[in-house]
Structure 1
Amino acid sequence: MQWGILWIVCWSIWKPTRPGLARCYRQLGLIAWQQGDAEHAVAWILKCLPLFEALQDYSSVATVFRDLGSIAHSRQDLEEAADWQFKSIAISERLEDWAGLASAYQEVALIAEAYGQAEEALDWIVRSLAIAFRSSGPPPEGTLYEFGRLGSKFGDRLLEQVWMNVLGEALPGEVRSIVHQYRELEDTEQDSSHD
């Protein structure tokens, strides 16, 4: 990777300021991660963290923690991934950053799934989806997909139980239909792969 060239381009976009430098470091980290270079990704992203902290830009700090958690998860370091996501959750809760919170909850659901913890995985994805449904816009496709996938994988009965435990209400029909749509999609894909 031509880091020197990327650094110059990044620097010219965000100008030589502390916030610009922090964004530049983060972008370089995300580029490295997209290129499959987790080691450089973490190194770049860790450079932006003290800058965002010094700026008291806690929303960006929470985002960086989510980034680091996602990178750790992609390396199968589940314990580190969970640690970063829970740090992000603590900040996002304090800031009432619902989108950030929903994103971190979804990532924790996937970590719990990787640990084989079905109920905990559903608990976190239900929390993520609940935030999305209660916000003004439609839930992100990724959240709907993961909810449908996990609900299908672990079954209606456990999903209904977790939904009731987390939200104190019965699983709505519109939400149940997400799981059924995922199952139908999954069945269609399996049928077409057998042809």
Structure 2
Amino acid sequence: MPRLFVGLEIPSAIGVQLSGLRGGLPGARWIDVENYHVTLRFIGDIDEPTADRVADILDDIRRRPFPVTIKGARSFGGKKPHSVFACVEPTPDLMALQADIERKMQMVGLPAEQRKFTPHITIARVRGASGSAVANYLGMRGFFRAGPFTAEDFTLLSSRASQGGGPYIAEEVYPLDAPAFDYGLEQRI
């Protein structure tokens, strides 16, 4: 049974910039640079026929490439943080792509995602770090910026049961190559 999710993979140059955030937080388990990504939709453990339907229906999504900018760092978990992430700017293009993917997942019978989509790149798991240590870390690195880079595709990824952070395998890549829409410029005869 594959564990699947849909994401934007991060260019290696951006990954190198993000790797500069590593260190300085006792108790953190840092994500390997090659596993940085923006999760667009977590799917989870599903059977092979459903996985095949997911792979097929994602091929129907048509969007143009768009810029992705990383601005800042934060944590999830409130007073008991569990992860530290780099914030991805929630542009209209990114949010529309994520909404398209969500609709497609519901079309294959998967339940709606209950959490609000917050575009981010997880850089560390911090279950062993105190809230004050995470706050201090973010106070020094919270103004991080990288990009923009152009999202030219999105990927169906799989992972094996692990502690989080990979390794991830690209199962299928879907190009963002929709032609530009002609806004009322019709050919006149």
Where relative contact order (Cα < 8 A, 6+ residues apart) is larger, the structure is 2
Coarse TM-score class (shorter-chain normalised): under 0.3
Q: Whose helix fraction is larger, Structure 1's or Structure 2's?
A: 1
Q: TM-score, normalised by structure 2?
A: 0.24
Rg larger in structure: 1
